Structure 1
Amino acid sequence: MPFHPLKFKDAFSLLYAEKNRASFILFSGIYCFCFLYIFSPHNMSTWYEADYLGPAWVLLIFSLSAVAGLVLSRFILAKVFKDQNLTNSQYFLWFLGEVLLITATVNTSNVLMHNYLSFSFHEYLDTLRYTFLLLLQTYAIGLMWFYTREKSQELENLENTFKDAPKKANMLALTDEQDKPVISIDPENLVMIKAEDNYVQVYFIIGVDLKKELIRNSIKKLEPQIARHGFARIHRSYIVNYSKVVLFKKNSRGYHICLEGLDKMEIPVSASYLPAFSKIVSLTP
């Protein structure tokens, strides 16, 4: 499977599902407490040895305060600001805002528990330093696990596709730049191919899920391989499955189509390919 570099304009989807959010919050709370209590950075456990609650309870309250901030961010603010539409770069800014929010919840708990502390900008900044370093670890580990699980599921789906390939006589093999097969798929499940620099992004359907696979090849080289299966070029960067076209429209920016499974993506039809596309559309019952 080719390496797909992180693109800041891509949609961030690892925490879309509510069960992923809940799992991440639970992991964050447990990780924060264990890290603070067991590893005791900056000898933090000794800070509260004389405290009437004891270091374990104080650090547990800090961890629960962080969990409260994450619940507020992940389940309440996320719905208000519709974070499902965030890109990777926008989510990084969301993370920074989340750090500020969690710092506020932890700082509030700390001041309320200890009468020798007071609400001040200096106290907030001191808490911010520790909160940022701890959340950076939590996010790195948690999101890496979600990312690995997602890619493992995609790999399993692709393996299942290969297993089913011999059963179908009309399977379409997509190759890389060295003509080595990368994906074998039923043409009916292939939605679109999009050019991306030295790669092509292949959009296909498995069951009811839309998947993507990055292949190192050119769209020009793949076009002859799939043309006879009901695919055609509509733009220098797009080859689409005509049977998946659900909408064809014109607006101030030109002609666009929408494809089944890609409802939120408007795909341009360039002027040079418009006559051939219009002819095929007009022949469709």
Structure 2
Amino acid sequence: MIKFIITFVDDMDLNQLIPAYLVSKKNSTRLVLFTAGFALLFINLYSPFDVRNWFGLSLKSQELFFYSSLIILTGVLVAVISRVILYHYNKKKIKTKLWAFLLIIMLEVFCMALFFTIYESVFIKDDNRTYLEVFNVSVQNTALVLLLPYAVLWLYFSWLDKNHKIKELIESEEKIEFDANSMIPFLDEKGTMRITLKMDDILYIKGADNYVTIYYNKNNAISKFLLRNTIKNLEQRFINHPITRCHRSYMVNFDKIKVIRRERGGHILEIETDPPIEVPVSKTYIKEVFQLFENN
């Protein structure tokens, strides 16, 4: 556990500012409640670190649960006070750096371990361990009780934040009025932007399984870009806009179509390039294609 944390910290820039979601009021409340619940279950159920070993107690189950609940809920006040101070500190637009945030967590562990040690020295009478021995055990157990839920919630808050940003990005893209100069971001299946093109430069899109190839104009030459996504996902994004599905495997920018012709094998679209690019039209989409072609 310690080695993992040291490796994790070494890979991070300690001078970077912590994300806002780590100090928001809602997430701070979640963290305190989750940590209190986790700690209560942890020391009552996980025998190597339970309250009997922690404080050297020999109590009945009911008494044990009462003492452990009192100890944990009182100890969690340290986290409550810490999060309240951190919230108001950042609310004043004074941002906390990562090294300071990690130092605060270390101080929380130290203060809670010190509290547990004092608690034993005052209230527990049947333990013959020295203060230093009790403090060492308390530091180890407190680190586990705090760091495990903190790490889980950090990942969870990060996931929520990324999903929220992706949702905002998608909603903002849907509000864009498409024209020849619009910059169109193309996202992969995970929602990460891979390339941004002008609407006027996009020619057509060809799909194959879980990938699409985007064909576009670049310096008067045709270029292509491979994107991990499905043509079905892109179709949903471009509803009621020039880039339209015309085939199971193709989407075209109808602003670039100059000819639609019928051949023995079906209808063909000619894209306005030199030489012209031919894209097939399937029966499923033929009606929509003719309507769009007439409107253009």
TM range (shorter): 0.5 to 0.7
**Do the aligned residues in 2 keep the contact of 1:11 with 1:87 (CA within 8 Å)?**
yes
Cα 1:45–1:121, aligned 2, differ >3 Å: closer, same or farther? closer
- Give the drift of 1:44: 4.2
Cα distance in structure 2, aligned partners of 1:77 and 1:16: 7
Cα distance in structure 1, aligned partners of 2:161 and 2:45: 31
SS at match of 1:115: coil
Residues 1:115 and 2:115 are matched in the alignment: no
Which residue in 2 is equivalent to 1:262? none
Cα distance in structure 2, aligned partners of 1:39 and 1:27: 17
Residue type at the aligned position of 2:155? M
Q: Which runs of 4+ in 1 moved over 6 A?
A: 80-83
Map 1:156-195 onto structure 2 (within 5 A). 156-165=167-176, 167-169=177-179, 171-173=182-184, 180-181=194-195
Residues 1:17 and 2:24 are matched in the alignment: yes
Which residue in 1 is equivalent to 2:144? 133
- Give the drift of 1:48: 3.5
Map 1:164-243 onto structure 2 (within 5 A). 164-165=175-176, 167-169=177-179, 171-173=182-184, 180-181=194-195
Cα distance in structure 2, aligned partners of 1:172 and 1:52: 66
TM-score (norm 1): 0.52
Which residue in 2 is equivalent to 1:72? 81
Cα 1:26–1:74, aligned 2, differ >3 Å: closer, same or farther? same
Which residue in 1 is equivalent to 2:158? 147
Cα distance in structure 2, aligned partners of 1:87 and 1:15: 12
Which residue in 2 is equivalent to 1:188? none
SS at match of 2:76: helix
SS at match of 1:181: strand
Cα distance in structure 1, aligned partners of 2:62 and 2:119: 13
Percent of aligned pairs with the same residue?
Answer: 16
TM-score (norm 2): 0.50
Deviation per residue, 1:9-56 (Å, 9 max, x gap): 321123221221111101110111112212233454575442696221
Which residue in 1 is equivalent to 2:233? none
SS at match of 1:8: coil
Deviation per residue, 1:109-152 (Å, 9 max, x gap): 33333124588344222211211122121211121111111111
Q: 2:98 aligns with which of 61, 65, 88?
A: 88
Deviation per residue, 1:225-272 (Å, 9 max, x gap): xxxxxxxxxxxxxxxxxxxxxxxxxxxxxxxxxxxxxxxxxxxxxxxx
Cα distance in structure 1, aligned partners of 2:93 and 2:122: 32
**Do the aligned residues in 1 keep the contact of 2:23 with 2:83 (CA within 8 Å)?**
no
- Give the drift of 1:87: 1.4
Cα distance in structure 1, aligned partners of 2:43 and 2:49: 10
Cα distance in structure 2, aligned partners of 1:83 and 1:56: 42
Cα distance in structure 2, aligned partners of 1:114 and 1:83: 45
Cα 1:52–1:181, aligned 2, differ >3 Å: closer, same or farther? closer
Larger Rg: 2
Cα 1:10–1:171, aligned 2, differ >3 Å: closer, same or farther? farther
Cα 1:101–1:36, aligned 2, differ >3 Å: closer, same or farther? same
Which residue in 1 is equivalent to 2:108? 98
Cα 1:6–1:52, aligned 2, differ >3 Å: closer, same or farther? closer
Which residue in 2 is equivalent to 1:194? none
Cα distance in structure 2, aligned partners of 1:160 and 1:131: 43
SS at match of 1:14: helix
Residues 1:39 and 2:49 are matched in the alignment: no
